[in-house]
Amino acid sequence: MNKQELIIAFYTAFGPGEDPRCFFAGGRVNLIGEHVDYNGGHVLPCALTMGTWGLLRRRADRRLRFYSLNFPQAGVQEGSLDDFSYRKAQGWTNYPLGVLFALKERGITLEGGFELLIYGNIPNGAGLSSSASLEVVTGAAVRECFNLCVTDVDLALLGQRAENGFVGLNSGIMDQFSIALGRKDRAVYLDTATLAYEYVPVDLGDCLLLVMNTCKRRTLADSKYNQRRSECEGALAALQQKLPIENLAQVSPEVFEQNKALITDEVQRQRAKHVVYECERTVRACACLRRGELNAFGQLMNESHASLRDLYEVSCKELNTLVEEAQKQPGVLGARMTGAGFGGCAVAIVKADQAQKVMDAVGRAYEAAIGHPCAFYTATIGDGPKEI
């Protein structure tokens, strides 16, 4: 949809009045560094040009009105600045309401209400962060329309706070950060312990970034995400009996091997092993990307997937099928699940001139094994939030 069509949809939903302002924030795909962002590790995600549009118009009273072109059956949902507690029945509007909650916690209150129309072209539940995209576009729209003193890093933190404190998912900072700070054709190499970050050019030469969607929907709040996080906390507490560490990312593979017996719970030991090795892999992968060593990068992607499948146990039959079928194809340098897992998407680096063959072969094998088709997208890496 173009801006004009979105404005017409806005008037249809909310009626005549002043023109709304129109904002956009992308989704994200993580290249490597999975399930380490709540363990102080480095991650290497990119913002996508696929994303979420938000059209906002201020109101003179304190009412909040929401409409999503992705959930038209929900109609116009009403709220008020004086009452925004989490309610499951509020569906998607819990994300923008969560951003208002996070602002309020910081002592930032809005002078008045607003109308917000949302349209997104990221498939929901695909693991490409449609919810973080919605949070960041809401934050950016509210910031600009109400002249709030909020930085891009704040936008990321507010989005994460909305997830953690309002929606109830104890997610890390990776998704919101990469969306709020994204740069065209660059990955964000982020140290999640300090929020120090660098941009790394994603120069894939004759290759492209292929996103493969299992089309198996999952909602993170219902998944075992929070459980993984507490398993890591258990492992950390066990290692802290002896090691002066604040997070699992501070443990090198060598130190881990010497001290892993401190973690008596076998499951927790496996989870920690994934985190420790994934952190180290991500640092190496980033160096490979900077040097243009794409084959080595692809190999690290493959290792990351195996670790997520076997040690962290967040993959599933659908993701394994996509990844393993892709890894067999000529022209595929590496493939792995991306995001939280349990469904959603995988990502592969593929020679551009072989991409069609890869999609045909993987698509056929996937449908035969799983019983429904998968979907493919070529990822294009975009900028952070902007006004259109």
Task: Tell which one of 174, 276, 323, 381 touches ligand GLA (CB under 6 A).
Answer: 174
Supply the minimum distance, in Å, between the C-beta of residue 161 and ligand GLA: 13
- 22 versus 251: smaller Cβ distance to ligand GLA: 251
> β-pairing, 63-68 with 114-120?
parallel
Contact range with ligand GLA by CB under 6 A, out of 13-21, 30-38, 80-88, 283-291: 30-38
Q: Does 175 bind ligand GLA (CB under 6 A)?
A: yes
Of the candidates 131, 127, 134, 181, the residue with the CA atom closest to the CA atom of residue 156: 181
Q: Residue 375: helix, strand or coil by DSSP? A: strand
Torsion-angle region of residue 385: left (phi > 0), alpha (psi -120 to 50) or beta?
A: beta
Map residues 313-352 to x or -, x wherever contact with ligand GLA holds by CB under 6 A: --------------------------xx------------
- 77 versus 192: smaller Cβ distance to ligand GLA: 192
Q: Does 117 bind ligand GLA (CB under 6 A)?
A: no
Query: Which residue of the set 19, 37, 61, 175 is catalytic?
Result: 175
Is 206 labeled as catalytic in the residue annotation?
Answer: no
User: What torsion, rounded to 10 degrees, do the Cα atoms 163, 168, 174, 178 define?
Assistant: -20
Counting residues that bind ligand GLA (by CB under 6 A) gives 10
How far apart, in whole angstroms, are the C-alpha atoms of residue 27 and residue 44? 14
How far apart, in whole angstroms, are the C-alpha atoms of residue 130 and residue 120? 8
Q: Does 249 bind ligand GLA (CB under 6 A)?
A: no
Q: Does 139 bind ligand GLA (CB under 6 A)?
A: no
User: What torsion, rounded to 10 degrees, do the Cα atoms 147, 152, 157, 160 define?
Assistant: 100
- 117 versus 174: smaller Cβ distance to ligand GLA: 174
Supply the minimum distance, in Å, between the C-beta of residue 175 and ligand GLA: 4
Q: Does 37 bind ligand GLA (CB under 6 A)?
A: yes
- Residue 293 burial (CB < 10 Å; 0-12/13-18/19+)? middle
> β-pairing, 45-58 with 114-120?
antiparallel
Supply the minimum distance, in Å, between the C-beta of residue 339 and ligand GLA: 5
Contact 227, 253 (CB under 8 A): no
Q: Does 172 bind ligand GLA (CB under 6 A)?
A: yes
Residues annotated as catalytic are 175
Q: Which residues bind ligand GLA (CB under 6 A)?
A: 34-35, 37-38, 171-172, 174-175, 339-340
